[in-house]
Amino acid sequence: MTTLVPQARPGHTGDTGSITIVDPRSGEIVGSVDEADRDEVGYAVDRARQAFPGWSATAPAERGTALHRLADALVGAADELAALNERETGKLLGDSLGGVMAGASTLRQYAELGPVHRGTSLLGNRDAADWTTPEPYGVVAVVTPWNDPVAVACGLIGAALVMGNTVVHKPSERCPHLGVRFGELLEAALPSGVFQTVSGGGQVGSLLTEQDGVDVVAHVGSSVTGRKIARVAALTGAHVVRENGGNDALIVDADVDPVWAAEQAALGSFANAGQICTSVERIFVHRDIADEFLDALVAETKRWNDAGRLGPLVDRRLRDEVDAQVRAALDAGATALVGGQVPDGAGSWYPATVLTGCRPSMEIMTEETFGPVAPVSVVDSFDAAIEAAVNDRYGLAATVLTGSLVHANRAARDLPVGTVKINAAFGGAPGGAAQPRKDSGSGFGYGPELLDEMSLTKVVHQGVPVLRKAVS
Ligand code: NAD
């Protein structure tokens, strides 16, 4: 199983600089990580190419066993990884630990699903044999964000590896120490060259995805980056899977308990300080319960601000972006019922915020806001709520809270998003997967179907040969 890679590792030229990270809770410096340069990125892809024949020829069950080893390594280092995650991104320790354990569990799922992934036997001519079979692509570039860094990376990496691909991972520049440590653990548990990490920012991601030796680019991150990656891949011919941004609507119907609806709205808007791709981004509440809902949302939001349930934003750059969107909404006539102000002091804290009077044209409603902001718009009917929710360039997910089966079914049918949640801001059964719509990405970024994204299907037709006659 060991693959020999004869090439020499290039020396780091240092011409790409380094990334310095500060703790978003305190502003204290965590440390610096060197960015990979062009030669190092090229070298990683070459090594991955050289490791591919050996890894793809390894029995799938053996690859599954290797994934269990990776999961064991993560679980063994879970406290260390979670502490690093909290220090670099501010993600609460319990949530960081949950992310590491979720990542390990995803690796175990793919360890089991990969070896039983099937081709099909086909009903052809009776004397022939016809079947399809999945084959690995080659080298997969996995480019990931910081908001749930271990869990997100494990899904893409696990599916790629178990199908026989080799992987070069570019973790987020906002948690580079975590990225390096995560990479060390995985690399140590796999044959040489099968998994590697290149550190750096968007420039390094760009260097990686431009490589001719990359067969698949799997990107989780913003829609702006996703579009750039799709353009580059159109030139290199790489297959692309993109899980990108969202601007998820929450519709609150007239017949639900306003207090429960407010709790769901707060959870959807403020969990992980609003830094989740499927955070609630726009709230459309029916006029009949709007006053009660807003009173309850204000009370619930104050509880979020008081109870230590809210971590800081990942850095001041993101806080400035969130604040700019809130300021623009206030300038255009919205009202902040809670929060809406950058606090004094160190770190990049931002309070849970409720805005009312939000109109469809405001940036807070048209763009993803990666922060703890709940922008509310009051609507006259369920139809008006659906119409407003549909009018969006993203298509990741949406939630509807309703007691009406007719309205629930209508939302499920008419909302142009990958995931529709009815009567729960978060949740879903294992195995559920969907392709994001519109500017939210392309392909299956998770679930069993990700195994199809990480493999190419071959169809085989085998006829009966005519043998030459024996010469007497
Ligand atoms: P980002 O796109 O800025 O960064 C993600 C990764 O892409 C990083 O590793 C970054 O260095 C890299 N990158 C940046 N520019 C690149 C380029 N030109 N070429 C190649 N790689 C490049 O996103 P982010 O700010 O780290 O993450 C937040 C975004 O991710 C939000 O929009 C969020 O909704 C989205 N997200 C989506 C999902 C999902 O499943 N849909 C999950 C988590 C996060």
- Mean pLDDT across 56-69: 98
Return the CATH architecture of domain 18-244.
Answer: 3-Layer(aba) Sandwich (3.40)
* pTM higher than 0.75: yes
207 pocket-lining for ligand 1 (C-beta < 6 Å): no
- Of all residues in the chain, the percent with pLDDT exceeding 90 is 95
pLDDT score of 3: 38
The residue type of 230 is: A
Q: Which residues pair with 75 in a beta bridge?
A: none
The region, left, alpha or beta by phi > 0 then psi within -120 to 50, assigned to residue 111 is alpha
- Mean pLDDT across 76-103: 98
pLDDT score of 470: 87
Nearest CA owner, ligand 1 atom 26: 145
Q: How confident is the model at residue 28 (pLDDT cuts 50, 70, 90)?
A: very high
Nearest CA owner, ligand 1 atom 14: 202
The Å distance, Cα 202 to ligand 1 centre, comes to 9
Q: Which atom of ligand 1 is nearest to the CA of 229?
A: 19
Residue 8 has pLDDT above 90, yes or no: no
Residue 7 has pLDDT above 70, yes or no: no
Return the CATH architecture of domain 248-422.
Answer: 3-Layer(aba) Sandwich (3.40)
pLDDT score of 11: 64
pLDDT score of 282: 98
pLDDT score of 307: 82
Residue 153 has pLDDT above 70, yes or no: yes
d(CA 456, CA 137): 6
pLDDT tens, residue by residue, 357-414: 999 999 999 999 999 999 999 999 999 999 999 999 999 999 999 999 999 999 999 9
229 pocket-lining for ligand 1 (C-beta < 6 Å): yes
The Å distance, Cα 1 to ligand 1 centre, comes to 34
Token pair belonging to 27: 């502003």
Q: Which residues contact 193 (CB under 8 A, 6 or more apart)?
A: 3, 5, 47, 48, 50, 51, 166
Mutate to test the pocket of ligand 1, among 85, 197, 220, 272 (most ligand atoms within 8 A of CB): 220
Mutate to test the pocket of ligand 1, among 33, 143, 211, 435 (most ligand atoms within 8 A of CB): 143
Q: Which atom of ligand 1 is nearest to the CA of 226?
A: 2
3-state secondary structure (DSSP) of residue 226 = helix
Q: How confident is the model at residue 94 (pLDDT cuts 50, 70, 90)?
A: very high
- Of all residues in the chain, the percent with pLDDT exceeding 70 is 97
The CA–CA distances, whole Å, from 367 to 250, 315, 333, 338, 440 equal 15, 19, 17, 21, 12
- Mean pLDDT across 29-33: 97
Nearest CA owner, ligand 1 atom 10: 202
173 pocket-lining for ligand 1 (C-beta < 6 Å): yes
pLDDT score of 471: 80
The Å distance, Cα 407 to ligand 1 centre, comes to 34
Mean pLDDT of the chain, nearest integer = 96
d(CA 63, CA 190): 9
Residue ranges of domains in the chain: 18-244, 248-422
pLDDT tens, residue by residue, 178-202: 999 999 999 999 999 999 999 999 9
Q: Quote the longest CA-to-CA distance of the chain.
A: 99
Q: How confident is the model at residue 17 (pLDDT cuts 50, 70, 90)?
A: confident
d(CA 67, CA 298): 45
The Å distance, Cα 2 to ligand 1 centre, comes to 33
Q: Which residues contact 167 (CB under 8 A, 6 or more apart)?
A: 48, 139, 140, 141, 142, 157, 160, 161, 194, 195, 196
Residue 106 has pLDDT above 50, yes or no: yes
